[in-house]
Amino acid sequence: MLVASGGQKHEVHERSQISHVSLKNASAITGHVFRAERIKFQHRYGVLKCFVLLTQSSRESSFSIMSGTGLIYDEEMTRYKLLWTDPVCKIEVPERLTVSYEALKCRGLEQRCVCVPTRQATDEEILLVHSKEYLEAVKQTPHMHLDDLLTFTQQYGDVYFHPNIYHCATLAVGAALQLVDNVMTGKVRNGMALVRPPGHHSQRSEANGFCVFNNVAIAALYAKKHYNLNRVLIVDWDIHHGQGVQYCFEEDSSVLYFSWHRYEHQRFWPNLAESDYDSVGKGKGTGFNINLPWNKVGMTNSDYLSAFFHVLLPIAYEFDPELVFVCAGFDSAIGDPEGHMCASPEIFGHLTHLLMSLAEGRLCAVLEGGYNLTSLAQSVCQTIQTLLGDPTPVLNDIGPPCHSALESVHNVRAAHQKNWGCLKHMVCLVSEPSTKKCRVEEKDEKQEEETTEHLVWPEPVPRDAPPVHTAALISKEEEDLLPEDCQRLGEISPKYIEEAEKIRNKHFQDVTDERTLQCIQDVVSLLEKIKNREVRNGLAVVPDVFVSLKCAVEHATNSLSERILVLFVGDDNVPVDTKDGRVLLVQICKKEPERVKSLYHVPVCLNKGVFSSASVMAAVLGLLLPLAYEFNPGLVLQVVAEGSGGLDVCVWAQLTSLLQGVAQGTTLALLKGCDRDMVTATGVSLSGAPAPSLGPLDPPLAEDVEVIEAQRQRLQERWGLLLNTVSESGTESGQMKTPPAASSV
């Protein structure tokens, strides 16, 4: 049996036990074949430790390569439908599955997935969540005539029964369980189950909201039981509150449930007080239920990203799940008759990407809602394509969240401040009483029913992947540090030599060192390959990081992209001009740089001699990613000036993976010298392997939070996606409120 060790902190003496054998196994888990001969002891304390230790704790398991995306589809689940007239239920049609599946086939995505068969769930499995009485009652439905089915249906809310729905419901649960088994045994890295009926509304003894059995809740309990998991994350991005999942786990600290949902101050179905942000879980489950209510319709990509960056991801990283489920409902996408939201199908490619660095990539998405067939099929494709590792789609027009979304984000953060270390050192957050007040005041106001069904939106553009995932500029001797699918940079074309000559003559006339000059040529060559879409990512180990960076910025701004994001780890003054707004420089350092800071130069000076992982992740999630998404660069340059500078390579691997979300996953990494762990970590992450888990994170250091907050305050007027508290924004009311008093926390 596999015992995932993802979140455990390991002692140093354990790390010293790394053997050649376990390195081989580590390669198998990551899905990348390392040339283990040369690296067997090199990575004792490095990036491989997590993979290796994972293997050590699961040596008896029959691990196969952890790569690939599982897809579960069974036509049988299309064989039930509404048999009478019901305006509420008429949208839940069999075509929801068929159009999604056809779209996957049509785009060649189904063919790239590992086809996983479904099975029927057993009674014992269904009883993990549901009562015996309820199961027995549902079992009677295949034998009922129309009148009896109708009567049976009427005891529940917004659901319908059919003689074949019990069979389909057992297959839907079985599909979720099959996905768990395939992901947890490493047969696939991640996957999606296209199922009907959906599950997240169904409760212990109750069908509800088109749902019969709670597929994901059962799968989470099954995963805990069969794979000894201690921490499972369920992300419910369906537009309805999965109250069934909440009820199942609200007293359970081993399952973190996050749901955002259309709420409109309780006016939207299922109209429950307990769907609001102040339902945070009960007893020992306090803090493990996170509700983010949307009190207005029309939420956009920016609003969804804001919720991820400022609520879900910081808490999820602190929690450190061993397995991630997505209640993947796509009624939260544009055009949906239920959701009335305005987020594009592409956003699901990004939400998926942002979750794929958790739990070492173990992610199971299970279909819930989604009733606009066009939007549904497009969103399913975006999700699967990201699971397969294709470049993330371009998201234009990312900016500040709307006032209502910001209010919701603020309120959830306030409600959870005492529960999570990542929120602990913020100024004391007080929830906005206005959101509760609205509910009373607007109670009798006639709700204007806006609709987004008539909306048209562009078909998502194809997300073609360049033939080479990562090209590396590295010596032959050091090649072994990289996964095999990293390709060494080959022969340099004469036209690149010419281009490099020009840059050299313009900027580096005084440079005479041959290796540095060669490096200019190589960097230009790598960038040209990226520009021509021959290569997606580049990695270069360079003798002079400043010359290489300057050359890369010069060449990239001239010929590759309007906007370049530079992430620089190190204390030096970075030789990059940020004045014209084409380069956004985020610098993680220990000493404040001397240069005057612009709104495009963001130094994050963290205090500890060795960077605290929690602090760096707080900066990555709260500053770097919102900035990166709003800036929308065409290329990311990641630069490490001197060794890792005390930066944990696992943290570096995480942020490298996360940054693949922008610039269509195009990064050029420049590493000074050859810190072997750093090279491997970078190569592995750029190749799309999931980053190692960081273990449950401690709270970030108070002084670091202060630094990050100061930067957020300085920049948020220009970069609105940094906003996370209402008091900072006067966007709708037109007036700034007094900031809350400093916290005593």
Query: Any bridge partners for residue 541, and if so which?
Result: 671
Which one, 329 or 393, has the nearer CB to Zn ion?
Answer: 329
Half-sphere exposure of 102 (CA within 13 A, CB side): 9
Task: Identify whether the C-beta of residue 261 lies closer than 8 Å to the C-beta of residue 240.
Answer: yes
> How many of the other CB atoms lie within 10 Å of CB of 65?
16
- Helix orientation angle between 434-441 and 403-416, rounded to the nearest 10 degrees: 120
Task: Identify whether the C-beta of residue 256 lies closer than 8 Å to the C-beta of residue 234.
Answer: yes
- For residue 244, the minimal CB distance to Zn ion (Å) is 12
Which one, 370 or 665, has the nearer CB to Zn ion?
Answer: 370
Instruction: Please give the Cα distance from 236 to 345 (Å, whole number).
Output: 16
Taking CB under 5 A as the binding criterion, the range among 51-59, 165-173, 238-246, 462-470 that sits at the site for Zn ion is 238-246
Which letter does DSSP use for residue 569 in this model?
E
Taking CB under 5 A as the binding criterion, the range among 115-123, 240-248, 260-268, 467-475 that sits at the site for Zn ion is 240-248
Spatial neighbors of 503 by CB under 8 A, at least 6 apart, are 520, 524, 551, 554, 555
Hey, CA dihedral for 320, 321, 324, 325, is it positive or negative? negative
- For residue 258, the minimal CB distance to Zn ion (Å) is 15
Which one, 77 or 500, has the nearer CB to Zn ion?
Answer: 77
- For residue 477, the minimal CB distance to Zn ion (Å) is 55
- Helix orientation angle between 132-139 and 165-184, rounded to the nearest 10 degrees: 120
- For residue 338, the minimal CB distance to Zn ion (Å) is 6
Instruction: Please give the Cα distance from 202 to 210 (Å, whole number).
Output: 8
User: Helices then strands (H, E): number in the chain?
Assistant: 26, 16
Taking CB under 5 A as the binding criterion, the range among 307-315, 321-329, 584-592, 617-625 that sits at the site for Zn ion is 321-329
Instruction: Give Rg (Cα) of the chain.
Output: 26
Which one, 268 or 546, has the nearer CB to Zn ion?
Answer: 268
> How many of the other CB atoms lie within 10 Å of CB of 145?
8
Hey, CA dihedral for 102, 105, 106, 109, is it positive or negative? positive
Taking CB under 5 A as the binding criterion, the range among 180-188, 234-242, 454-462, 504-512 that sits at the site for Zn ion is 234-242
- For residue 372, the minimal CB distance to Zn ion (Å) is 12
- Active site (annotated) includes residue 201: yes
Instruction: Please give the Cα distance from 206 to 209 (Å, whole number).
Output: 10
Which one, 238 or 528, has the nearer CB to Zn ion?
Answer: 238
- For residue 368, the minimal CB distance to Zn ion (Å) is 6
Half-sphere exposure of 88 (CA within 13 A, CB side): 10
Which one, 270 or 665, has the nearer CB to Zn ion?
Answer: 270
- For residue 745, the minimal CB distance to Zn ion (Å) is 37
Query: Which run of H or of E encompasses 150?
Result: helix 146-154
Taking CB under 5 A as the binding criterion, the range among 225-233, 322-330, 612-620, 669-677 that sits at the site for Zn ion is 322-330
Instruction: Please give the Cα distance from 132 to 136 (Å, whole number).
Output: 6
3-state secondary structure of 227: helix
When asked if residue 331 is in the footprint of Zn ion (CB under 5 A), the reply is yes
3-state secondary structure of 538: strand
Taking CB under 5 A as the binding criterion, the range among 7-15, 211-219, 331-339, 381-389 that sits at the site for Zn ion is 331-339
Which one, 338 or 554, has the nearer CB to Zn ion?
Answer: 338
When asked if residue 329 is in the footprint of Zn ion (CB under 5 A), the reply is yes
- For residue 336, the minimal CB distance to Zn ion (Å) is 9
When asked if residue 240 is in the footprint of Zn ion (CB under 5 A), the reply is yes
The footprint of Zn ion on residues 350-369 (CB under 5 A) is: 369
Which one, 338 or 728, has the nearer CB to Zn ion?
Answer: 338
Among 43, 200, 201, 425, the active-site one is: 201
Which one, 214 or 615, has the nearer CB to Zn ion?
Answer: 214
Name the nearest CA neighbour of 401 among 392, 412, 390.
412
- For residue 458, the minimal CB distance to Zn ion (Å) is 24
Taking CB under 5 A as the binding criterion, the range among 52-60, 121-129, 329-337, 348-356 that sits at the site for Zn ion is 329-337
Query: Any bridge partners for residue 233, and if so which?
Result: 256, 324
Phi-psi region of 361 (alpha: psi -120 to 50; beta: other; left: phi over 0): left
Cβ-closest residue to Zn ion? 369
- For residue 337, the minimal CB distance to Zn ion (Å) is 11
Which letter does DSSP use for residue 237 in this model?
-
- For residue 236, the minimal CB distance to Zn ion (Å) is 9
Number of residues that bind Zn ion (CB under 5 A): 5
When asked if residue 554 is in the footprint of Zn ion (CB under 5 A), the reply is no
Q: Which one among 125, 238, 250, 704 touches Zn ion, defined by CB under 5 A?
A: 238
Instruction: Please give the Cα distance from 230 to 651 (Å, whole number).
Output: 22
Taking CB under 5 A as the binding criterion, the range among 23-31, 239-247, 299-307, 716-724 that sits at the site for Zn ion is 239-247
- For residue 252, the minimal CB distance to Zn ion (Å) is 23
When asked if residue 293 is in the footprint of Zn ion (CB under 5 A), the reply is no
When asked if residue 570 is in the footprint of Zn ion (CB under 5 A), the reply is no
Which one, 331 or 630, has the nearer CB to Zn ion?
Answer: 331
Half-sphere exposure of 133 (CA within 13 A, CB side): 4
> How many of the other CB atoms lie within 10 Å of CB of 408?
30
Bond before 197 cis per omega within 30 degrees: yes
Which one, 87 or 609, has the nearer CB to Zn ion?
Answer: 87
Which one, 329 or 688, has the nearer CB to Zn ion?
Answer: 329
When asked if residue 236 is in the footprint of Zn ion (CB under 5 A), the reply is no
Please write down the long-range contacts of 129-134, taking CB distance under 8 Å and 24 or more positions apart: 129/204, 129/213, 129/214, 129/217, 129/218, 129/221, 129/248, 130/202, 130/204, 130/205, 130/213, 130/214, 131/204, 131/205, 133/205, 134/204, 134/205, 134/206
3-state secondary structure of 411: helix
The footprint of Zn ion on residues 363-402 (CB under 5 A) is: 369
Q: Indicate the burial class of 131 (C-beta count within 10 angstroms; 0-12, 13-18, 19 or more).
A: middle
- For residue 315, the minimal CB distance to Zn ion (Å) is 23
Which one, 240 or 265, has the nearer CB to Zn ion?
Answer: 240
Which letter does DSSP use for residue 622 in this model?
I
Which ranges of 594-643 would DSSP assign to H, the alpha helix?
A: 613-619, 625-631
What's phi and psi for 691, nearest 5 deg?
Answer: -75, 150
Task: List residues near Zn ion by CB under 5 A.
Answer: 238, 240, 329, 331, 369
Residues marked active site are found at: 201
